[in-house]
Amino acid sequence: MATLIDGKTQARELRDAVAGEVQRLTHTQDVVPGLAVILVGEDPASQVYVRRKGQHAREVGMRSVEHTLSASTPQRELLALIAELNADPGVHGILVQLPLPTHIDPEAVIHAIDPAKDVDGFHPLNVGSLAAGGKGLAPCTPLGCVRLLASHLGELAGRHAVILGRSRIVGRPLASLLLREDCTVTVAHSRTVNLAKVCRQADILVAAVGQPGLVQGDWVKAGATVIDVGITRLGDGEERRLVGDVDAASVSRVAGALTPVPGGVGPMTIACLLHNTLIAACRQHG
């Protein structure tokens, strides 16, 4: 049976390390890293994520500012708030929770965030820096995936990584990060011919498409490391559960290691957000 890669424990360890650095920064430079999180509307899943981000930021000793705006907030009001936060020296990281209501253009919002405070790594300047192999702020979920892989496998160089999904939040930036680790990278997606065959070539298989149970045991090479990024909410009330893109029952009989859902990539994402905020604060005061 595949080893389960414990994201919960690793996220706690990363948060502890960040907390130590926050304390050092606070005492030696009188700088308290500040994270501003903006939520527009009342999407229940987004509300949970935003609350958790604020909670964890405070737990590691950061200043957390949460702005909740109504779903009908005009785009110019959101842009004005971002401009205010850009100019606030006590705010080092700004995150606008996605998705946004349909009357707001996410591109305009992402462009408005100061790239130095863009802890999501979505601003084109940071996207470009990452694609060029540079050191701009990188998106949190792919950073979490790389940390989990490195903790389990050690050296990643030379391994063939197949990424299922080409989203801006996960697939594309993860491809850049794994290239930086000297992996051989294949990005597969909905138009890829013979997906199962491509996946079977992977030493590292990352599923990030949001299709419950898409990856079956016969898609996986024996001993491969499988990272399940997909989180889909199924059912209601007592029956409610989170399911990943990987069919854990069949895949765990073939893979060498697998991240669980929940408790795998999810907790790492927030820990990496805190780490990005710390990096942003250090750079702004360096």
Phi, psi at 214, each rounded to 5°:
-60, -45
Residue 85 interacts with ligand GUN (CB under 6 A)? no
Nearer to ligand GUN, 209 or 251 (CB): 209
Is 167 annotated in some ligand binding site? yes
Residue 140 interacts with ligand GUN (CB under 6 A)? yes
Is 256 annotated in some ligand binding site? no
Determine which residue in the list 21, 114, 118, 120 makes contact with ligand GUN, applying CB under 6 A. Answer: 120
Instruction: Determine the Cα–Cα distance for residues 141 and 272; give it in Å rounded to an integer.
Output: 8
Instruction: Determine the Cα–Cα distance for residues 218 and 251; give it in Å rounded to an integer.
Output: 8
Which residue in the list 97, 114, 245, 247 is annotated as catalytic?
Answer: 97
Burial (CB count <10 Å: 0-12, 13-18, 19+), residue 153: middle
Which residue in the list 114, 118, 120, 245 is annotated as catalytic?
Answer: 120
Type of residue found at 239: E
Bridge-based pairing state of the strands 93-96 and 257-258: unpaired
Residue 169 interacts with ligand GUN (CB under 6 A)? yes
- Residue length, the chain? 286
From 21-29, 93-101, 245-253, 275-283, span contacting ligand GUN (CB under 6 A): 93-101
Residue 195 interacts with ligand GUN (CB under 6 A)? no
Residue 131 interacts with ligand GUN (CB under 6 A)? no
From 11-19, 94-102, 204-212, 235-243, span contacting ligand GUN (CB under 6 A): 94-102
Select from 257, 280, 273, 260 the least CA-distant residue to 96: 273
Q: Which residues bind ligand GUN (CB under 6 A)?
A: 95-98, 120, 140-141, 169
